[in-house]
Amino acid sequence: MAAAITTPPSDDSFWSDADRHLVRYGAEFTREIIDRAAGSFMYTADGRKILDFTSGQMSAILGHSHPAIVATVQRQVATLDHLYSGMLSRPVVDLARRLAGTLPGPLEKALLLTTGAESNEAAIRLAKLVTGKHEIVSFARSWHGMTQAAASATYSAGRKGYGPAAPGNFAIPVPNPYRPDFTTADGSLDWRRQLDFAFDLIDAQSTGSLAACLVEPILSSGGVIEPPAGYFAALRDKCRERGMLLILDEAQTGLCRTGTWYAFERDGIVPDILTLSKTLGAGLPLAAVITSAEIEQEAYDRGFLFFTTHVADPLVAAVGNTVLDVLTEDGLDTRARSLGDFLRKGLTDIAGRHAVVGDIRGRGLLAGLELVVESGTGRSPDELGARITRRCLELGLHMNIVQLPGMGGVFRIAPPLTATEDELSLGLEILDQAIDETGAR
């Protein structure tokens, strides 16, 4: 019997089906039907071309449908895609070895998983087992994922309405130079006093079971906030004093995004456990937990268990190896630095023309633009950011706005590392126009 020929549903029926059958899991769905994507652009079903200034979900560092990734997927899926979780393949061992080669010692043991939440879940589980303790400290505007332990260490959103979080989770204030809470005589952030105060509170609340501190080197969902130089070395010392492990979540900052292979390199520290995701698969579901041989051995001796369906899958591991190939061969760490300087200059120029732009920050090709409004105007940064976001999309630019209580709206800007200066210029031009046309001066 011949297969029936189906006609693609109309846009109206598409949205009717979406509204009827999809669980809504966050922000409202963007009312565009994305048909395909290539390089720095997405293409809608009705033929519109949209510049992607967020690398998908902050992940597609090589752009969309990179030829090397396409070739790897086609080759690997035809030979070896998935295995029993206790079996190994060459792509998995190769990726573990090569990741270790990009990192300082003693980080050399890798666990390959799928998502950032899963990698943070595994890292927390490792830390609890190895230390024999259970308390976890994170930033008050953190985002580490939506599974149980990761969500319990997430404070930027999603805590209300789900019952008790995992016991022993504590938040410390974010060292935000633009909105300092502890200040020096000249009004700048006094992060040392803030950090001392934070751990005085942690010590007062702890039952003596502090296992780990899980933090992002640059808070992305928290508003693209980069703690000052010296902060992480001091934080590491706080952890050492208490027998805690330091876990760094580089889901969005790892693998050249910030102009170095890893954001923690700036601070001259090495975490006890590193988690990677998003950028490692360049848009495909691949994540990793990387730690020392000593920690891995202790965990193994104590019976560490993280046996999941897609642990050590060969298909995405092969993609990870290709990502490392492209990053290395194309020198994308250097490219991210130079393009980041270009982007920063363009954003600074926009700030000079629009008083609603309060701050420009970030590193490499992870940038933040914070909106502010004068009190008494009847406007809010949230409302203004939503309007600018909508206008950008109408003009052909996809932007992402972070809206958290107590902050202005913050645009997270993270184009692919493969973007060109012309593409960045186009995005800057559209953003400038959108700010102007929304009446934001």
Catalytic residues: 143, 216, 249, 252, 278, 412
Residue 178 in contact with residue 358, Cβ under 8 Å?
A: yes
What burial letters (b/e) apply to 53-74, b meaning 16+ CB within 10 Å?
A: bbbbebbbbbbbebebbeebbe
Name residue 11's beta-bridge partners.
Answer: none
Residue 125 CB coordination number (10 Å): 16
Q: Where do we find the tokens 């008790």?
A: 164
Cis geometry, peptide bond prior to residue 9 (ω within 30 degrees of 0): no
Q: Is 341 helix (H, G, I), strand (E, B) or coil?
A: helix
Residue 290 in contact with residue 247, Cβ under 8 Å?
A: no
Q: 287 is written with which tokens?
A: 């994540």
Give the residue from 288, 329, 314 showing the smallest Cα distance to 75: 314
Spatial separation of the C-alpha atoms in residues 54 and 30, rounded to whole Å: 14
Spatial separation of the C-alpha atoms in residues 111 and 304, rounded to whole Å: 12
Q: Is 400 helix (H, G, I), strand (E, B) or coil?
A: strand
**Burial category of 12 from C-beta neighbours within 10 Å (exposed 0-12, middle 13-18, buried 19 and up):** exposed
Residue 371 in contact with residue 381, Cβ under 8 Å?
A: yes
Nearest 10 degrees: Cα torsion 99, 247, 367, 413: 80
Beta-carbon contacts of residue 423 (< 8 Å; ≥ 6 apart): 40, 51, 415
Spatial separation of the C-alpha atoms in residues 142 and 235, rounded to whole Å: 16
